Amino acid sequence: MTTRILTGITTTGTPHLGNYAGAIRPAIVASRDPQADSFYFLADYHALIKCDDPARIQRSRLEIAATWLACGLDADKATFYRQSDIPEIPELTWLLTCVSAKGLLNRAHAYKASVDKNVEAGEDPDAGVTMGLYSYPVLMAADILMFNAHKVPVGRDQIQHVEMARDIGQRFNHLFGNGKELFTLPEVVIEEDVATLPGLDGRKMSKSYDNTIPLFGSAKQLKDAVARIVTDSRAPGEPKDPDNSHLFTLYQAFSTHEQQAAFRAELLGGLAWGEAKQRLFELLDNELGEARERYHALITRPADLEDILLAGAAKARRIATPFLGELRESVGLRSFREQVQVASEGKKKVAKAARFVSFREDDGFRFRLLDAAGEQLLLSIAFADGKAAGQVTKRLQAEELDLHAELNAFSVRLDGEAVAYSPEFSTDAERDAAMQRLREALAPQE
């Protein structure tokens, strides 16, 4: 079974070596698992909560997109997109907001921390608190639930938000699912083994400490940064203590076991700190050199990055758009043209076990046919206008169906042209049963 994994990437800064070792590198390795369906998105709506500098947000989006691609993320296999390119996300956020209890959001850590800080300072508890900060957990829930992610890898500070997404999704399912689980409830994956690198001064590598090593600076910048790593005062020839050396910890994060053993032996044998720093620089430069070249090539071609991200957004929206249509249907935001009138025993009645749902996408107008349980039977091709789509739905109800089996799915044709397609099925038997259900649901009126 394929497991869908979703990860959001904050877009308010420039990635450094700690980000690479702790998040980027392991995530890209995980995306290559054939059993994983990986979704990675630039969380640029979330960035607006923390940053009000448009230039910084724009630059960060560019740098982070280039970084992940340069480091080896395969945008053809993973789904890589900007949050702001998925208009279904803010719409789903509102649907979820309408079922999210205020008491639940009151308990969010970020909001409580802001309130506590204000109270300590003797200010109004909500001073400086925006609705973006307050409702952040609902937007995060929409990010996760829109794509029915099975697993969400997060650090411990984000566990609560995934748990809140579960609570909100479960509430929505209860109110509007009509017995069906509309949302998959996500599972938290705690990143216990994430590498936490020391910075130049030995504290955790962080921009807030100004102790970072640039990820894709020039070779000279990298060498200069490594030269500033704080070491003890032991002279050349004196044994060094690898287990208490920040420099050795950094070396471990990027070397093989054989390299580590050799480096440890050299330090114990009295290797000079200057030579040790040169070894670390050479190791890092070898690790990052090719990726650095790809990064700078991408940064100079922002239009190429735009194309990659828009392609990822289109891929994501092929899931999001029809699913949001189903969610709109579930809460009662339905088309007035969707009811199917059928004849039965000489009198007409409403509520046939199928209904059409019309919606609009970037490429035109489409419709879906849902059965009584809300399961999708058909998804149409794109039409130039709503009138053309409506005419096709009328013909499907009035004419004998022309169905064509196509491997693990089937199409519906009018005048020899396919106008709608079924979902994919696991077996021919499931496909054939769905074709029969469709015939029964759209039997012409007498």
Which ranges in 202-301 belong to alpha helices (H)? 219-227, 246-252, 257-268, 273-299
Strands 376-380 and 364-371: antiparallel
143 is in an annotated binding site: yes
370 DSSP β-pair partners: 355, 376
For residue 170, count other CB atoms closer than 10 A to its CB: 15
19 is in an annotated binding site: yes
156 is in an annotated binding site: yes
- CB under 8 Å to 189, separation ≥6 — which residues? 5, 151, 152, 153, 154
d(C-alpha 379, C-alpha 366), whole Å: 7
180 is in an annotated binding site: no
d(C-alpha 213, C-alpha 18), whole Å: 8
Least Cα distance to 75 among 43, 39, 42 occurs for 39
For residue 285 the two structure tokens come to: 């430069």
Amino acid residing at 271: L
> Which run of H or of E encompasses 327?
helix 302-331
157 is in an annotated binding site: yes
- CB under 8 Å to 361, separation ≥6 — which residues? 317, 321, 382
Which residue reads 């957004």 in tokens? Answer: 313
Amino acid residing at 221: Q
R_g of the chain, CA atoms, integer Å: 28
- CB under 8 Å to 52, separation ≥6 — which residues? none
205 is in an annotated binding site: yes
Angle, alpha carbons 157-229-278 (nearest 5°):
125
52 alpha carbon, distance to own chain's centre: 23
197 is in an annotated binding site: yes
d(C-alpha 351, C-alpha 328), whole Å: 18
155 is in an annotated binding site: yes
Positions at the binding site for ATP: 10-12, 18-19, 155-157, 197, 204-208
**Residues in binding site:** 10-12, 18-19, 143, 155-157, 197, 204-208
Point out the annotated binding site for L-tryptophan.
Answer: 143
